[in-house]
Amino acid sequence: MKIVITAASLFTPLELVESPVVVIEDGRVTAVKPRRQMEVPATTRHFDFPEMVIAPGFIDIHVHGNAGHDVMEGDDSALVAIQRAMAKHGVTSYLPTTVSAPEDRLLSALEHLGKAISRNDNHAGSRPIGIHLEGPFISQAKRGVHPPESLVQPSVQQFERFWQASGGTLRMLTIAPELPGAVETIQAARRLGVHASLGHSNATTDEAQQGIAAGADHATHTFNAMRPLDHRDPGILGVALTHDRLTADIIADGVHVDPSIVKLFLAAKGPERAILITDGISATGMGDGRYKLGALEVEVKGNRCDYHGRLAGSVLTMDRAVRNTMSFAGWTLQQSVRLATSNPGRRLGIADQKGTIIPGADADLVILTTAGELVQTFIAGIPCH
């Protein structure tokens, strides 16, 4: 049976379509046209959202957990709970993100996540589309809350062990380019189609440039866990903000960076190279208390997650990040949506499948108010909450 969705407007997100008709069959978009060019087909299941906006489903490339669970738990029911909770905030695809841990635990987590990705189960929730390995190839000086004893020097051999454990599902690697062996590891990752992201790094300008020359194409939670910007020695942050080859992401929660810095970041990276992430942990949606980030116990009060005085992830949701972008930087809803949809889709090389509403793409959609409030999420054309 065909599914048809109509609304007041639609963001592809690069184009605006007024009074759209979206036709879906077998989980994919088959047509997108203004109503003046297409009648609503008969014998269809029709969802109508007057005064609302249709947009692509959000893609979160950096998230550790949700709904009281962590992606490294190694439990299928935990992943289902995380994915259903994220779908309630518009995330239809995501990269489950690991933290540095003892090697046996990290390998076990990668194996479990890789199998879950390969199964591609449909639990009416967000779908994992690859793993983001955040650590252990990061700087001791900028490790954040990653356990110092779990950090290791990058090497091709060690990276390939992680790759094999994941069943070839690694999609992103956060790495400090100044570490011995980092350049060779970045090159090995890129040969396997894994995007190397500069982060948790104390790199100088030259060291960051060497990482880019080796194949790094992204920057992880810009400003956080990075050498501070200096006007004579800009370091990795100066490179992340100005290099045209790099996309970069940011945690727009008003806690990790001040709203004025979000505005500065967006002005520097522009609408094509900026990406929103949540860095959400198990506490997301759960209220104040103590929660897990990997093996760490994190204290949450309000919007702040602390581990012995250091920020430890966030409780940000992606729909809130989109609205914060509108509020902090004065961007329109359409501009802000792009940072959570087509931009991460392009970075991952899946822009023809996800993060867009075009014929042939996956029918992962969200319905929003004009203020960016989430009304409904569709995954493969099916309403999931």
**Contact, 56 vs 341, CB < 8 A?**
yes
Question: Which pLDDT belongs to residue 269?
Answer: 98
Integer angstrom CA distances of residue 298 from 43, 71, 136, 138, 232? 52, 15, 19, 21, 37
pLDDT at 215 over 90: yes
Integer angstrom CA distances of residue 377 from 28, 62, 84, 88, 346? 15, 20, 11, 7, 21
Q: Which run of H or E residues covers position 119? A: helix 103-119
**Contact, 198 vs 209, CB < 8 A?**
no
pLDDT at 85 over 90: yes
Question: Which pLDDT belongs to residue 77?
Answer: 94
- Tell me whether residue 104 is exposed, middle or buried, using C-beta atoms within 10 angstroms of its C-beta: 0 to 12, 13 to 18, 19 or more: exposed
What is the rounded distance in angstroms from the CA atom of residue 189 to the CA atom of residue 191? 5
Percent of all residues in the chain with a pLDDT value above 70, rounded to a whole number: 100
Q: Is the pTM of this model over 0.95?
A: yes
Question: Which pLDDT belongs to residue 40?
Answer: 83
Question: Which pLDDT belongs to residue 1?
Answer: 72
Mean pLDDT (the chain) is 96
Within 8 A by CB and 6+ apart from 92, the residues are: 57, 58, 59, 126, 127, 354, 364, 365, 366, 377, 378, 379
Give catalytic residue positions: 279
Q: If you count DSSP H runs as helices and E runs as strands, how many of each does the chain have, helices first?
A: 10, 23
pLDDT at 44 over 90: no
Condensed to tens digits (0 to 9), the pLDDT of residues 308-367 reads: 889 999 999 999 999 999 999 999 999 999 999 999 999 999 999 999 999 999 999 999
What does R_g of the chain's alpha carbons equal in angstroms? 20
Q: Which run of H or E residues covers position 214? A: helix 205-214
pLDDT at 385 over 80: no
Helix (H, G, I), strand (E, B) or coil at 323: helix
Condensed to tens digits (0 to 9), the pLDDT of residues 139-196 reads: 999 999 999 999 999 999 999 999 999 999 999 999 999 999 999 999 999 999 999 9
Query: Token pair of 359, please?
Result: 């014929």
Which of 385, 383, 374 minimizes the C-alpha distance to 89? 374
Percent of all residues in the chain with a pLDDT value above 90, rounded to a whole number: 93
Condensed to tens digits (0 to 9), the pLDDT of residues 276-303 reads: 999 999 999 999 999 989 888 999 999 9
pLDDT at 10 over 80: yes
* 207-215 average pLDDT score: 98
Amino acid at position 328, single letter: F
What is the rounded distance in angstroms from the CA atom of residue 181 to the CA atom of residue 137? 10
Question: Which pLDDT belongs to residue 32?
Answer: 97
* 372-384 average pLDDT score: 96
**Contact, 251 vs 304, CB < 8 A?**
no
* 222-232 average pLDDT score: 96
What CATH number has the domain spanning 58-348? 3.20.20.140
Question: Which pLDDT belongs to residue 89?
Answer: 98
**Contact, 20 vs 34, CB < 8 A?**
yes
Span 2-55+361-383 CATH architecture: Roll (2.30)
DSSP designation for 281 = -
Which of 383, 361, 375 minimizes the C-alpha distance to 14? 361
Residue ranges of domains in the chain: 2-55+361-383, 58-348
Condensed to tens digits (0 to 9), the pLDDT of residues 242-265 reads: 999 999 999 999 999 999 999 999
Question: Which pLDDT belongs to residue 328?
Answer: 98
